[in-house]
């Protein structure tokens, strides 16, 4: 007698539906245009300062020797008792050792700069920068759009400089320089920040309080004329001078994910 096949008791697990979250903003942020004269001034000052400081990244050309590690392991694993270790030559001790890893010529000056989009973003989040310069050759363009509200809320002057990467990459010994930031209290680049800061155009962020006040002033001037606004002007001046306070985000309620597969807890024996 042939026994009937047992029905499968285990239920087939349903595959979770892939969910992708995306944050879309109704506001469009753009860099303020920079004049040609100001662009030349910024690039010339940066060139002169970096050449005077002599900051550059030293690259090391590594040549990998195939099979050298295996041979060295065999020699170390089976040493001969008769052979004595050869003494090291005196010339190797006296000669300076070449850098085996890429390093900077002046690490103290390098710490005063933030090079790259990631370093500039971290510096703005920690409020450590006094000036930010971005290259216009970034593709896609939205890679540097988040720096506009960050620098605006921290009251840090920032602008987009054309051909920034082409002019500074060779001086610094890098492939590209998409973003450059100067840290606060820098002794080496203090004069550079002073000369570039008044030339930087102001950023326009639509959801920022100052931009909203400008729009409201225009509407009031069209409707109301000839009224005294001494109190309003005083309040505007005080609010513009005071820095923006960022409050932390408070989560009211956490809802568990119903589609999450939870394993049953094992009872202790």
Contacts of 54 (CB under 8 A, 6+ apart): 105, 106
| pLDDT value for 228 | 45
pLDDT digits (tens, 9 = 90+) for 177-225: 999 999 998 889 999 999 999 999 999 888 777 655 555 555 555 544 4
Mean local confidence (pLDDT), 1-15? 61
Mean local confidence (pLDDT), 126-140? 92
pLDDT digits (tens, 9 = 90+) for 55-96: 888 876 665 556 555 566 655 555 555 555 555 544 444 444
- Cα-atom radius of gyration of the chain, to the nearest Å? 31
Lowest-pLDDT choice from 126-140, 152-166, 232-246: 232-246
Contacts of 241 (CB under 8 A, 6+ apart): none
**Nearest-CA neighbor of 205 among 46, 79, 32, 84?**
32
First-to-final CA distance of the chain: 42
| pLDDT value for 141 | 86
| pLDDT value for 142 | 86
168 vs 205, residue with greater confidence: 168
Helices 36-53 and 164-172: angle between axes, nearest 10 degrees: 0
Mean local confidence (pLDDT), 130-147? 91
37 vs 10, residue with greater confidence: 37
Mean local confidence (pLDDT), 28-41? 91
Alpha-carbon distance values, 245 to 27, 35, 42 (Å): 21, 32, 31
| pLDDT value for 218 | 55
- Asked if pLDDT for residue 227 goes beyond 60, the answer is no
**H/E/C letters for each residue in the chain?**
CCCCCCCCCCCCCCCCCCCCCCCCCCCCCCCCCCCHHHHHHHHHHHHHHHHHHCCCEECCCCCCCCCHHHHHHHHHHCCCCCCCCCCCCHHHHHCCCCCCCCEECCHHHHCCEEECHHHHHHHHHCCCEEEEEEECCCCCHHHCCCHHHHHHHCCCCEEEECCHHHHHHHHHCCCCCCEEEEECCCCCCHHHHHHHHHHCCCCCCCCCHHHHHHHHHHHHHHHCCCCCCHHHHHHHHHHHHCCCCCCCCCCCCCCCCCCCCCCCCCCCC
- Asked if pLDDT for residue 135 goes beyond 80, the answer is yes
- Asked if pLDDT for residue 97 goes beyond 60, the answer is no
> What sign does the dihedral 144-148-149-151 (CA atoms) show?
positive
Alpha-carbon distance values, 85 to 77, 79, 88 (Å): 15, 10, 9
Burial class (CB in 10 A: 0-12, 13-18, 19+), 173: middle
Quickly state the pLDDT bin for 148 (edges 50, 70, 90). Answer: very high
| pLDDT value for 225 | 47
Report the DSSP pairing between strands 129-135 and 158-161. parallel
Contacts of 101 (CB under 8 A, 6+ apart): 60
166 vs 71, residue with greater confidence: 166
For the chain, give the mean pLDDT. 76
32 vs 101, residue with greater confidence: 32
Percentage of residues in the chain having pLDDT higher than 70: 61
Domain boundaries, the chain: 32-55+105-201
Homologous superfamily, domain 32-55+105-201: Ribosomal protein L30/S12 (3.30.1330.30)
Residues 129, 196: Cα–Cα separation, whole Å: 14
């Amino acid at each position: 007698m042939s026994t009937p096949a047992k029905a499968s008791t285990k239920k087939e697990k349903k595959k979770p539906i892939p969910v992708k979250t995306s944050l879309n903003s109704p506001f469009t942020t753009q860099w303020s245009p920079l004049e040609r004269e100001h662009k030349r001034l910024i690039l010339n000052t940066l060139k002169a300062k970096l050449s005077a400081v002599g900051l550059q990244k030293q690259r090391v050309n590594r040549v990998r020797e195939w099979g050298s590690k295996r041979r060295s392991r065999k020699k170390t694993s089976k040493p001969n008792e008769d052979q004595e270790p050869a003494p090291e030559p005196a010339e190797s001790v006296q000669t300076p050792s070449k850098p085996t890893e890429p390093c900077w010529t002046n690490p103290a000056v390098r710490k005063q700069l933030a090079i790259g989009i990631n370093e500039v973003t971290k510096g703005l989040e920690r409020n450590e920068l006094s000036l930010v310069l971005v290259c216009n050759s970034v593709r896609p363009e939205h890679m540097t759009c988040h720096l506009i509200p960050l620098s605006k809320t921290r009251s840090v002057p920032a602008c987009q400089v054309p051909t920034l990467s082409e002019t500074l990459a060779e001086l610094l010994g890098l492939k590209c320089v998409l973003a450059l930031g100067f840290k606060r209290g820098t002794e080496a680049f203090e004069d550079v920040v002073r000369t570039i800061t008044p030339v930087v155009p102001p950023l326009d962020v639509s959801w920022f309080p100052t931009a909203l006040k400008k729009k409201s002033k225009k509407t009031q001037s069209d409707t109301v004329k000839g009224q005294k606004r001494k109190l309003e002007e005083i309040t505007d001046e005080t609010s513009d001078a005071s820095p923006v306070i960022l409050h932390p985000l408070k989560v009211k309620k956490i809802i568990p994910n119903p589609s999450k597969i939870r394993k049953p807890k094992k009872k202790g024996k």
